[in-house]
């Protein structure tokens, strides 16, 4: 190097002692030495001062970075006391394993949790994007429609975020959740199904009775009609025997009968009508003058 001066190049030893009879000496006029991993240059006071300023800057931050989870000062960032835990904020505490406490006085005392406050001193987490995966958090914009969809008076207070649960009235009973209300409704429907089944059985029985009555009535009408179809004994005759048939609404009947003229003033008549459901019989007499 041009202008380079070598001191004691041909003298052995590895220590240069600048002390004199009056004590230690200053070495002045030292140019900035090269600062690098392999540099052997001497450094001067201005370089040391600049480095001290940088150290002070780091120290200003480092004053609030502690490894024991007990940092102090107005702002602190520390490694929590729990395994792999972090606490950031004045008096923040992360005592549980793999936990994170964010903010002044925040407490994370459950493993694998992130706390942004403490009991009685909770904080809101704002600007949260809508969750899309199974383990994502949800925001109010996602939750509010779900609450409204519950019905039953369920609501969310826009100012406090407090959710008021639903209240469902089923068969005179009040239920505070969908599951209980649906279960009650299902029980009522089952009871109604059983009641309808019983009613259906009774109606079937009633229908059978009505059908039996109708069948008997229709058959009786047919038998009566068949009896009326038998002609009376003619004037001048003493005795007549006859038969008749009839049908009514699909039910048939036959009848046999006889009539007799006792004299010019008295006449007798008798007959029997028969159908699928039974028989009917009758006797009559008349007196004429």
What integer pLDDT is reported at residue 80 of this predicted model?
Answer: 61
Q: State the average pLDDT for the chain.
A: 86
Angle made by CA atoms 113, 64, 78, in degrees to the nearest 5: 25
What integer pLDDT is reported at residue 214 of this predicted model?
Answer: 92
Q: H-type helices in the chain, by residue range?
A: 45-62, 140-149, 178-228
Q: Which domain holds residue 268?
A: 218-287
Residue 186 in domain: no
Residue 195 in domain: no
| Greater model confidence, 272 or 178 | 272
Which of 85, 113, 141 is at the close of a domain? 113
Residue 233 in domain: yes
Which of 53, 85, 113 is at the close of a domain? 113
The one-character DSSP state at 35 is -
Residue 283 in domain: yes
Is pLDDT above 60 for 65? no
92 in Cβ contact with 102 (< 8 Å): yes
The one-character DSSP state at 90 is T
Residue 236 in domain: yes
CATH number of residue 242's parent domain: 3.30.1300.30
Residue 150 in domain: no
Query: If you search the block for the tokens 């009973």, which residue do you land on?
Result: 173
Q: Nearest-CA neighbor of 260 among 233, 286, 287?
A: 233
**% residues pLDDT > 70 (the chain):** 91
- pLDDT band for position 76 (cuts 50, 70, 90): low
Residue 64 in domain: yes
Q: What is the pLDDT of residues 194-218, one digit of tens each?
A: 888 899 999 999 999 999 999 999 9
254 in Cβ contact with 273 (< 8 Å): yes
Residue 235 in domain: yes
Which of 54, 86, 113 is at the close of a domain? 113
What integer pLDDT is reported at residue 75 of this predicted model?
Answer: 55
Q: What is the pLDDT of residues 140-184, one digit of tens each?
A: 989 989 988 888 888 988 888 888 888 888 777 888 888 888 888
Q: Nearest-CA neighbor of 227 among 156, 150, 279?
A: 279
Torsion region of 77: left, alpha or beta (phi above 0 gives left; psi -120 to 50 gives alpha): beta
* Range from 54-68, 123-137, 200-214, 253-267 carrying the lowest mean pLDDT: 54-68
* Structural domain total, the chain: 2
Query: If you search the block for the tokens 């793999």, which residue do you land on?
Result: 98
Q: Nearest-CA neighbor of 271 among 245, 247, 241?
A: 241
What integer pLDDT is reported at residue 118 of this predicted model?
Answer: 95
Angle made by CA atoms 287, 288, 289, in degrees to the nearest 5: 130
Is pLDDT above 50 for 72? no
**% residues pLDDT > 90 (the chain):** 46
pLDDT, average across residues 51-65: 68
pLDDT, average across residues 119-126: 93
Torsion region of 238: left, alpha or beta (phi above 0 gives left; psi -120 to 50 gives alpha): alpha
Q: Nearest-CA neighbor of 281 among 223, 231, 229?
A: 223
* Range from 11-15, 18-22, 77-81, 135-139 carrying the lowest mean pLDDT: 77-81
Q: What is the pLDDT of residues 223-258, one digit of tens each?
A: 999 999 999 888 888 999 999 999 999 999 999 999
Beta bridge partners of 255: 244, 273
Is pLDDT above 60 for 79? no
What integer pLDDT is reported at residue 129 of this predicted model?
Answer: 94
Torsion region of 278: left, alpha or beta (phi above 0 gives left; psi -120 to 50 gives alpha): left
């Amino acid at each position: 190097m041009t202008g380079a001066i070598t001191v004691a190049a041909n003298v052995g030893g590895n220590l240069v002692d600048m002390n004199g009879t009056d004590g230690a000496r200053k070495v002045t006029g030292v140019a900035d030495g090269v600062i690098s991993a392999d540099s052997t240059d001497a450094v001067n006071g201005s370089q040391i001062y600049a480095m001290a300023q940088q150290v002070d800057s780091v120290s200003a931050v480092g004053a609030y970075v502690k490894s024991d989870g007990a940092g102090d000062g107005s702002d602190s960032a520390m490694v929590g006391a729990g395994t792999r835990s972090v606490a950031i904020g004045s008096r923040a505490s992360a005592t549980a394993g793999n936990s994170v406490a964010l903010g002044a006085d925040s407490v994370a005392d459950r493993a694998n949790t992130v706390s942004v406050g403490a009991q009685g001193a909770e904080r809101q987490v704002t600007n949260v994007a809508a969750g899309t995966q199974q383990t994502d958090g949800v925001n109010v914009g996602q939750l509010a429609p779900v609450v409204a969809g519950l019905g039953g008076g369920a609501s969310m207070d826009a100012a406090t975020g407090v959710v008021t649960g639903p209240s469902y009235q089923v068969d005179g009973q009040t239920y505070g959740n969908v599951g209980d209300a649906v279960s009650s409704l299902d029980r009522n429907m089952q009871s109604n199904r059983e009641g309808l089944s019983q009613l259906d059985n009774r109606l079937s029985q009633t229908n059978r009775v009505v059908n039996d009555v109708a069948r008997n009535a229709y058959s009786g009408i047919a038998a009566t009609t068949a009896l009326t179809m038998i002609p009376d004994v003619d004037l001048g005759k003493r005795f007549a025997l006859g038969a008749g048939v009839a049908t009514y609404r699909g039910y048939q009947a036959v009848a046999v009968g006889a009539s007799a003229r006792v004299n010019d003033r008295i006449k007798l008549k008798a007959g029997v009508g028969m159908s699928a459901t039974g028989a009917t019989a009758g006797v009559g007499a008349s007196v004429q003058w």
